[in-house]
Structure 1
Amino acid sequence: MSMTTTPEILPTTLPDHTQLPESDGTFVFAERAGGKNFQEHPQSILLTDSIQPILQKRHPEGNYCIGQDSGIYWRITDPPQRGAEAPDWFYVPNVPPLLKGQTRRSYVLWQEIIPPLIVLEFVSGDGSEERDKTSWTGKFWVYEQAIRPAFYGIYEVRHSRVEVYHLIEDHYELVIENERGHYPINALGVELGIWQGRYQNLELPWLHWWDDLGNLLLSGEERADLERQQKEQAQEQLQQSELLLEQERQRGERLAQRLRDMGVNPDE
């Protein structure tokens, strides 16, 4: 006797980001069994802040989207949250920053179509959830087979290390670190790696960006400090030049006066 299953009945109209939940208390903000730590929020800000100049050059019209702890809906389920993942950080190229004048509550693939270029997960537990390849439910499987970002990074905060995967055809392959110990994201012209330094009053190893020449991409505060220092140096150089010109003028006047005292017209 054969058995048949009743196919899932889908709605006739697909929900958009305004109709799907941002959070239910377990989806976005407490998704990982290990919970969050104090580094994760400034870590996301640092990644966003430091890569802004690169993205502004890449998208002079401003069409790109960055998500931080935001849901990516990839299929319709009941409840809706089962059909979404909430990476700690992701970037999507070539989409408008607003939808119909509204800030996105989540990123809905059937509404937006374009997948993220890179997704980053910050591991607070043992990393098994981020590496789970179970079909339809495992996070690694969902990113590799459904959401399909070109790059998937797993940052183990406790161990100060990161794994980066690149989507090759239908599967992820590990990206090999370069001679600087960084992972090239060639599509963006940047490298991803671990930087030991001080940010927001915390001296820690941070997940950070470099350009393709190995120069650390500065945060907005650091860029402002550098610009201020450059302006101060330029002002000092201008003052030095003005001082030299004044010294030369005074020297010329003294020389002219000596010539007059000798009965010589300096103008002739």
Structure 2
Amino acid sequence: MVLAAPQHQSPIVTWEKLPEDFILPDDPVENIQQPSLAAALTDALGATNRIQPHMLVATNFGIVANINQKTVVKAPDWLYFPRVSPVGTGVIRRSYTPNTEGENVAVVMEFLSDTDNAEYSIRPTFPYGKLYFYERILQVPTYVIFNPYEVTLEVRHLENGQYVLQQPSESGHFWIRELDLFLGIWQGTRLGLNIYWLRWWDQEGNLLLWSSEQVEQERQRAEQERQRADNAIAQLEVERRRQEALAAKLRQLGIDPDVES
């Protein structure tokens, strides 16, 4: 399925860093789940050492383009850049301009709001719809839309300049080629929040654990090792008592067990 933006005069796009005095929007998140969903995606990548210093993984972070001499900023709920230029010591990124500060964004994710479905907007004029901006302006290779209300996941890959809706694997997961991982929906609890999450699986189908799950897994492994050690000590104690009982019996028979025959 191809969801294409309408034909419109091609915009003039230039890549310019955001002016220092540009005021970024400070809109509140749509609901309490959005920050948690994004943080969980990043946490699993970090916990498995899949985030390197030259990469940029961010949430609700502004991507900048100058379109027809107007500055446009979109802030996806989650995004991944494979390689960015380093910033100076003490400098904090407040936005990112592709082709100026490093490579283009490779993956963007939007968590569907229950208001205007702006994530599907193909508006080709200022301030530009999100789908139009990601497909035509940024040309992001992979665009993900997660609907937490209906619990549905859509993945679009850019093919010949247009987004094509992908089909899931037999396990219901989608291959995200830019990260060499599968993405899918998983229900469970994290930080006291029991909801449907987006999670990563590797090529072999192994779930990438969150840091908290790794800690719990290590705790259980340590507990198992302690239990095995306790069992071994208990077995040695049983054997010691058996040997003592046998020695006592031999002494009753007039045999000194400590004297070698």
Q: What TM-score does the superposition give when structure 1 sets the normalisation length?
A: 0.77
**C-alpha contact (below 8 Å) 2:63/2:75 kept by paired residues:** yes
Indicate the percent of aligned positions where both proteins have the same amino acid. 31
CA–CA separation in structure 2 for the residues paired with 1:248 and 1:17: 76
Alignment of 1:178-197 (within 5 A): 178-197=169-188
Q: Which runs of 5+ in 1 are unaligned?
A: 1-7
- Count how many residue pairs are aligned between Structure 1 and Structure 2: 244
Query: 1:23 aligns to what?
Result: 24
1: distance between equivalents of 2:88 and 2:67?
22
Q: How does 1:96-111 map to 2 (within 5 A)?
A: 99-101=87-89, 102-111=91-100
Aligned partners of 1:223, 1:172: CA distance in 2, in Å? 36
Quick one: structure 1 residues 182 and 251, their matched pair in 2 at CA, closer, same or farther if it must change by over 3 Å? Answer: same
C-alpha offsets along residues 194-213 of structure 1, whole Å, 9 cap, x if unaligned?
Answer: 22222333322222223333
Structure 2: 5+ residue stretches without partners = 1-11
Q: Which residue of 1 aligns with 2:153?
A: 162
Instruction: Give, in whole Å, the separation in 1 of the partners of 2:79 and 2:21.
Output: 19
Contact 2:107 2:178 in 1 (8 A): no
Aligned to 1:3: none
2:141 aligned to which of 141, 150, 154: 150
Separation in 2, partners of 1:116, 1:63: 13
2: CA distance between counterparts of 1:207 and 1:22? Answer: 31
1:19 is aligned with what amino acid? E
**Partner letter of residue 185 of structure 2?**
I
Contact kept, 8 Å, 1:22 with 1:70, in 2: the verdict is: no
Separation in 2, partners of 1:44, 1:207: 9
Q: Which one of 100, 103, 109 corresponds to residue 114 of structure 1?
A: 103
Change (3 A) 1:24 1:185: closer
Question: Which of 227, 233, 243 is the equivalent residue of 1:242?
Answer: 233
The answer to whether the 8 A contact 1:256-1:266 is kept is no
Aligned to 1:262: 255
Residues 100-131 of structure 1: CA deviation (Å, up to 9, x unaligned): 12231111213223122210011113664222
Q: Secondary structure at the match of 1:111?
A: coil
Residue matched to 1:89: 78
Partner Cα separation in structure 2 for residue 152 and residue 19 of structure 1:
29
Tell me how far 1:146 sits from its aligned partner.
2.3
Paired with 2:212 and 2:22, the residues of 1 have a C-alpha distance of 34
| Change beyond 3 A, Cα 1:126–1:36 | closer
What's the RMSD between the two structures over aligned residues? 2.9
Matches within 5 A, 1:168-247: 168-247=159-238
CA distance in 2, matches of 1:114, 1:267: 81
What is the DSSP-based 3-state SS (H/G/I as helix, E as strand, rest coil) of the residue aligned with 1:177? coil
Deviations 1:158-195 (A, max 9, x none): 21111101122422211111111111213423221222
1:130 aligns with 2:119: yes
Compute the TM-score of the two structures, normalised by the length of structure 2: 0.79
Q: Which has the higher contact order (CA 8 A, sep 6+)?
A: 2
Residues 251 and 193 from structure 1, CA distance in 2 versus in 1: closer, same or farther, beyond 3 angstroms?
Answer: same
Q: CA deviation at 1:217?
A: 2.7
Q: 1:267 to 1:185 in 2, by over 3 A?
A: farther
Q: Report the Cα distance in structure 2 between the residues aligned to 1:20 and 1:175, rounded to whole angstroms.
A: 40
Q: How far apart are the structure 2 equivalents of 1:263 and 1:142?
A: 93
The Cα of 1:58 is off from its aligned counterpart by 6.2
CA offset at residue 153 of structure 1?
Answer: 0.3
